[in-house]
Amino acid sequence: MASDMNDYFNKKKGSSGGSNNNSGGGNFKPPRPPKIDFNFGGGKAGIFYFIGAIVLFLILAKPFVIITEGERGILATNGKYEAQALLPGLHFIIPVIQKVYVVDTKVRIINYADRIERSATAGSGIGVKPAITVLDKRGLPVGIELTVQYRLNAQFAAQTISNWGFSWEDKIINPVVRDIVRNVVGQYDAESLPTMRNTIADEIEIGIRKSVDSQTNTPVILQSIQLREIILPQKVKEQIERVQVAKQEVQRAEQEVQRAKQEAFKRAAEAEGLAEAVKIEAEGKASKIRIEADATAQANNVISESLTAQLLQLEQIKVQGQFNEALRVNRDAKIFLTPGGSTPNIWVDTKDPQKQSAIK
C-alpha cells in the first residue's frame, strides 16, 4: 500500500514537472538557493569583516547613550516615559523601540530686562525676556527688571517632562514670575517704590517661591530671585527728584541751624570758662592775701608773745650804746628820745642838715 502511494506521488510530480519544463524532461529537480560563503576568502579576514559589520550596525543604530554630569536622561519606550531618569554614565537602549531625551539640570537664568545682554546666547543657559510691565496702585505703568536663577529638579526630572513637556520653563517659571510681580507692585504707589525696594523684593521672592514649591513633586528648585531695577514713568521721576531736592534743602537748613547752635554753645562755653578762670584767679589772689595776712598776724603774735621787759631793756641798752658811739664822733648831734624810753631813738647831725640817720 505504501509503495503504491509513493508511485502515485512520483507520477504526479513528474507530470507536473513535465508540463512546466520547456525541455520536456521527466526528471525535474528544483533549483537550489545560492550558497553564501562567510569566509570571504579566509578565516581571519572573515572575522574582521564580521567585526566591521557589527561596528557599522552600532554606529547606524546607536543602541547606547552617554549622559554627562549636570544632565539627566528621560527614557521613552514606545513613546512612554519611564518614571526614573537616567543618571550620568553609559546606558544601552533598544534601537527604534527606545529613545533617550537628554535634559539639562544645571543652573539656568532668566533676565527680565529691556536691554538684551550679549552674554545671553543660545545654549548658554541664560534666557532674556522683556521687562515686566505692571500698574501701580493708581494705574501708572511701572517696569520691573528681575533675574531669576533656577534649575530642574533632577530627582523628578522624568515626571516634570511627562507632566509639563520640554517647554516646562515657559509653563512654570515665566507665568508665575509675572503674576506675582503684578500682584506685589500693584499694592504700592509709584513714588513709594524706590523707598520700599527691599520690602518689595522680599515679597516678590516669597510669593514666587511659595507658588513654585507648591507644584507637585517640586519640579523646579529656585536658587535666587533678584530685583534689579524699578523703571518709573518720567513724570514720576521728575516729581521724586523735586521732592528729593526739597528734602535736601530742609536737611541743609537743619544742618545750618545745628551748626549755629553748636557755635553758640561753643562761645557760651568759652565765656563761661573765661569767667570761671577770672573767678578762680581772683579767689586765688584773695586767698593769697588772706594767707599772707594770717601769716603776718601770726608772726606778729609770736613776736609780741616773745617780747619781755628784760628783752626790751636789753635792746634799749644796745641802742643807747650806738648813740653813745655816734656822739663821740659828732658832739653837735641832737638826740630825740621817745616817751617812755622805747626805741627807736632819733638823732640829727647838726653839722650837715642834709644828712639824717635813723638807728633802730
Across the range 66-77, mean pLDDT stands at 91
Domain boundaries, the chain: 2-31, 37-61, 62-104, 108-232, 234-306, 309-358
pLDDT digits (tens, 9 = 90+) for 163-195: 999 999 899 999 999 999 999 999 999 888 888
pLDDT tier for residue 350 given thresholds of 50, 70 and 90: low
The answer, yes or no, to whether residue 307 has pLDDT greater than 70, is: no
The answer, yes or no, to whether residue 109 has pLDDT greater than 90, is: yes
Q: Which pTM was predicted?
A: 0.54
Identify which of 172, 131, 154 has the alpha carbon closest to the alpha carbon of residue 85.
154
The answer, yes or no, to whether residue 122 has pLDDT greater than 70, is: no
pLDDT tier for residue 349 given thresholds of 50, 70 and 90: low
* Superfamily the domain 108-232 falls into: Band 7 domain (3.30.479.30)
The answer, yes or no, to whether residue 18 has pLDDT greater than 50, is: no
Q: Give the range among 39-53, 155-169, 215-229, 266-280 with minimum mean pLDDT.
A: 39-53
pLDDT tier for residue 35 given thresholds of 50, 70 and 90: low
72 touches 64 (CB < 8 A) = no
Per-residue pLDDT at 310: 73
Per-residue pLDDT at 6: 47
C-alpha to C-alpha distance for 180 and 176, rounded to whole angstroms? 6
Mean pLDDT value across the chain: 78
Task: Give the number of other Cβ atoms within 10 Å of residue 150's Cβ.
Answer: 21
Grid cell of 77 as nine digits = 519606550
Q: Where are the alpha helices (DSSP H) in 115-225?
A: 157-164, 168-185, 197-213
pLDDT digits (tens, 9 = 90+) for 189-246: 988 888 899 999 999 999 999 999 999 888 999 999 999 999 888 887 777 777 777 7
pLDDT digits (tens, 9 = 90+) for 124-143: 788 899 999 999 888 889 99
The answer, yes or no, to whether residue 34 has pLDDT greater than 80, is: no
C-alpha to C-alpha distance for 102 and 89, rounded to whole angstroms? 12
Identify which of 144, 153, 56, 145 has the alpha carbon closest to the alpha carbon of residue 104.
153
Q: Cβ-count burial of 78 within 10 angstroms (0-12 exposed, 13-18 middle, 19+ buried)?
A: exposed
220 touches 153 (CB < 8 A) = yes
Of 308 and 291, the structure prediction assigns the larger pLDDT to: 291
C-alpha to C-alpha distance for 151 and 125, rounded to whole angstroms? 10
Of 72 and 13, the structure prediction assigns the larger pLDDT to: 72
Across the range 271-300, mean pLDDT stands at 83
Identify which of 346, 344, 342 has the alpha carbon closest to the alpha carbon of residue 333.
346
